[in-house]
Amino acid sequence: MTGLLEGRVAIVTGAGRGIGRAHALELAAHGAAVVVNDYGVSLAGEKDDNASEGGPADEVVAAIEAAGGRAVANRADVADFEQAAAMVQQAIDTFGGLDVLVNNAGFVRDRMLVNTSEEEWDAVIRVHLKGHFAPLRHAGAYWRTEAKEGRPRAARVVNTSSGAGLQGSVGQATYSAAKAGIAGLTLVAAQELGRYGVTVNAIAPVARTRMTEGAFDTADMALPEDNSPLVAWLASEDAGDVTGRVFEIDGSAITVENGWSHGPSRDHGTRWSATDIGPALRELLAEAPTPEPVYGS
């Protein structure tokens, strides 16, 4: 591997299995010291009794160290505000700073909308959306302080959205809402943190993991590690001119996602009446591109 990330310090959340594990191994292989975060939960977010010593985070750390890299395990609940702060501080105390945050942790509780319970909604929104906000909030505050004290870091954030958040997915209303929120958070964070030398991007990965098995036909899906070279590059100093973007990666194909943008419009010149709006909207919709179909529709 190259020295693309030599001397850089990274946190990867949800790094005990699947895509997160692949990211941690890839970053370490390019020279980064990695805080391997994994709370240790089941696919549905239930606590894993093996999440303490010898759990998935420790196994990834052992693999990195066996390959000659540097890593430390972290078992924080990334949606717990104080635990997220402590995770950021662990990176600083252990490796002398923080340069890269890869927000990846999450789980699914798929239901059709009318069958979704309040608890299921709260749990999924919490781990995905608040689990992105809390580490990003504390890492961003650290980078702001460093910049103000004359020690700016070429910091990078890579968030994890999904095609479900960009196009929607039948049976995944909660997950889709959380992932759409992450895309929006990425845009705002990129603008607010850019003044401190921080870039913020998101990926929408496609891979055969325990989250996709059972929900989709995964026979032809990419492997988790197929997503990680994109993350490694976005985490590098070379990627300093790329921010506020969302990339879908599906095996060998990378797509720049355009997201919401202004389409056809019409100014009526005065307050619209309800009877005027209908015909005008139909004309505008006829001029607008057809939306991409919702997954599963």
Q: How many C-beta atoms lie closer than 10 Å to residue 196's C-beta? A: 18
Identify whether the C-beta of residue 132 lies closer than 8 Å to the C-beta of residue 185: yes
What does the alpha-carbon distance between residue 77 and residue 37 come to, in Å, rounded to a whole number? 9
Q: Check if 179 is active-site.
A: yes
Spot the catalytic one: 161, 162, 176, 236.
162
DSSP label of 85: H
Structure tokens at 15: 């790094």
Q: What is the DSSP letter of 254?
A: E
Looking at residue 33, the DSSP 8-state letter turns out to be E
Give the active site residue among 39, 175, 196, 295.
175
Is 196 an active-site residue? no
CA of residue 267 relative to chain centroid, distance: 38
175 is catalytic: yes
Of residues 142, 176, 179, 228, which has the active-site annotation? Answer: 179
Q: The tokens 């430390």 sit on which residue?
A: 72
The residues that are catalytic are 162, 175, 179
